[in-house]
Amino acid sequence: MSNTTQRLRYFDGEYLRANDFQTEQEYHLGMRRRLNQELHLYGIVEGLELQMDADSVPPSAVQFAITPGFAIDQQGREIVIDQPYTLANDVVLKRKGILDAKTFELWVCYQETAAGLPSAGYSTCDDSGQNTRYQESFNIVLVPMPKPAPKPGVKIPDPSNDCGGIRLGTITVANHADGLYIDSATSEHRVYIGSRTQHLVSPAPAPAAFSVLAQNVNPADPPPPAGYLDVEPSMYVRGNVLMTENAVVGDDFAVTLTTPPAATTLDSGNLKVGNNLFLNGGLYANVGGTWFGIHDYVKTLLPEFYFGCVSIPTPPTTGNTNATPIAITSKLPVVKTFNVQAGITALNLKDRTDLLTWWGPTNGIPGGSPLQVQIVPSLQKAGGAGEKYNLTFSYTVAPANVPPAGTDPIVAIDSIVVNYLVVLMP
């Protein structure tokens, strides 16, 4: 398929007729409207508000008007209202279809009519289309709310399709002794101009380095710093927002930390909120490659405490370390330091017979010998992934009775009851 776009080419001595100039205008008009339609999203550029007319005399004689403004319709055509347009009854309500009191959508549509006549002596009698101008104007269309079901042979206007128009608001029509009148007019359900773009770049020079701890923008000086894109009044995003730099919500402010983090951790990806933060969902943080919810994340910042009570048998033939270590599995992603404390809670002595043998007159412990009992805790890292530890206790019970050959030594204590406390620091 060949390109159907043509642009007039001039040369000296060229014979030009009306259709040549028409082609010239159609080219520029079509290109401009294509640019409006493809680069921009249709809608109101400025103004076109529904307000009380300046000539109204409240409360007895209230009229409404469309303020001056500019819009681009759905076909890329410009609609210009260069002065207040009064929504008078004779131009709005006295038209076909407006028969009763109800609420209407108010739309504005592009309208073009032929205008202007040739100068005297330059017209022909057999050609009716000799207007010298096109008058670009607009038309106001009212659509009942809610839109009624169509009746046979009756077409309900649909300005969004029929004329590619733009909705300016809503009016309410009421009855009066003299007939229908516009009781209220509200600027609502309006569509404003947009643009199709993937990349927005501020024309100003690149800004200075951003510091998340500093006050980069003075709230008393509204203009944004150089290189920033200024968006007002608000922004509504229907899709995802990905930011590779920092974000400040609310007035910027300085942050002073007693122990500032390394500068490399504050280069980008920081969020600073100058007021309240409302969260309807979870808050997560990555610590050591693992994601924690806010509840578990706070735990990673606090020490863990493990405590308990254990009875340690003290047979003199099995060495001086408890045979079964206590396993401790920490929930902290990384344990930097720890502290272990233990204390003797109780001593379980031998029965009477064994004690007399241990402390007997023959081959026993000499009378007056002191009984020595000592316990020493120890925490060692266990094998495997994660923060796993083994808690053991070394004990000393002395002296031991050494009976005749062929029998085991005897100590006066059967077991030691130990309370312990382990503190793991993140």
pLDDT per residue as tens digits for the range 296-314: 888 888 899 999 999 998 8
What pLDDT does residue 205 have? 78
- Per-residue DSSP letter, 344: E
What pLDDT does residue 402 have? 75
Would you say 410 and 354 are in contact if contact means Cβ atoms under 8 Å apart?
Answer: yes
Would you say 192 and 69 are in contact if contact means Cβ atoms under 8 Å apart?
Answer: no
Does 370 score more than 60 pLDDT? yes
**Average pLDDT over every residue of 371-381:** 90
Does 174 score more than 60 pLDDT? yes
What pLDDT does residue 2 have? 58
Band of the pLDDT at 181, cuts 50, 70, 90? confident
C-alpha torsion 155→157→163→169, nearest 10? 180
Backbone angles phi, psi at 39, to 5 degrees: -80, -40
One-letter amino acid identity for 109?
C
What pLDDT does residue 186 have? 95
What pLDDT does residue 137 have? 93
| Unique residue bearing structure tokens 């402010």 | 253
Does 363 score more than 80 pLDDT? no
Would you say 102 and 144 are in contact if contact means Cβ atoms under 8 Å apart?
Answer: yes
* Lowest mean pLDDT across 1-5, 44-48, 242-246: 1-5
Does 3 score more than 70 pLDDT? no
What own/partner pairs with CB < 8 Å and gap ≥ 24 does 2-7 have? 5/30
Would you say 221 and 251 are in contact if contact means Cβ atoms under 8 Å apart?
Answer: no
What pLDDT does residue 170 have? 95
* Lowest mean pLDDT across 55-69, 179-193, 328-342: 55-69
Query: Of the ranges 58-72, 292-306, 412-426, which is most confident?
Result: 412-426
> Global pTM?
0.64
3-state SS class at 313: strand
User: Please, which residues have CB within 8 angstroms of residue 393's CB and are 6 or more apart in sequence?
Assistant: 310, 312, 321, 322, 342, 375, 376, 377, 378, 418, 420
Does 259 score more than 90 pLDDT? no
The residue among 381, 366, 370 whose CA lies nearest residue 424 is 381
**Average pLDDT over every residue of 274-288:** 89
Burial bucket for residue 411 (CB in 10 Å: 0-12, 13-18, 19+): buried
**How many Å apart are CA 261 and CA 258, to the nearest integer?**
10
Band of the pLDDT at 75, cuts 50, 70, 90? very high
User: Please, which residues have CB within 8 angstroms of residue 371's CB and are 6 or more apart in sequence?
Assistant: 398, 399, 412, 413
Does 264 score more than 80 pLDDT? no
What pLDDT does residue 344 have? 93
Does 6 score more than 90 pLDDT? no
Does 318 score more than 60 pLDDT? no
**Average pLDDT over every residue of 400-405:** 74
The residue among 225, 229, 219, 220 whose CA lies nearest residue 207 is 225
Pick 265 or 31 by higher pLDDT.
Answer: 31
Pick 299 or 406 by higher pLDDT.
Answer: 299
Does 99 score more than 70 pLDDT? no
Would you say 56 and 69 are in contact if contact means Cβ atoms under 8 Å apart?
Answer: no
Continuous segment of H or E residues that includes residue 352: helix 352-358
What pLDDT does residue 305 have? 94
User: Radius of gyration of the chain from Cα atoms?
Assistant: 45
Pick 55 or 71 by higher pLDDT.
Answer: 71
What own/partner pairs with CB < 8 Å and gap ≥ 24 does 258-265 have? 260/213
Band of the pLDDT at 400, cuts 50, 70, 90? confident
**Average pLDDT over every residue of 208-213:** 81
What pLDDT does residue 209 have? 77
What pLDDT does residue 128 have? 66
Domain locations in the chain as residue ranges: 18-120+127-195, 199-278, 304-425
Structure tokens at 337: 């330091």
Pick 224 or 298 by higher pLDDT.
Answer: 298
Band of the pLDDT at 127, cuts 50, 70, 90? low
Pick 368 or 41 by higher pLDDT.
Answer: 41
Would you say 77 and 33 are in contact if contact means Cβ atoms under 8 Å apart?
Answer: yes
The pLDDT tens digits for 321-358 are: 776 889 999 988 889 999 999 999 999 988 888 888 78
3-state SS class at 22: helix
Would you say 74 and 160 are in contact if contact means Cβ atoms under 8 Å apart?
Answer: yes
Would you say 254 and 217 are in contact if contact means Cβ atoms under 8 Å apart?
Answer: no
What pLDDT does residue 59 have? 66
- Per-residue DSSP letter, 74: T
**Average pLDDT over every residue of 53-69:** 83
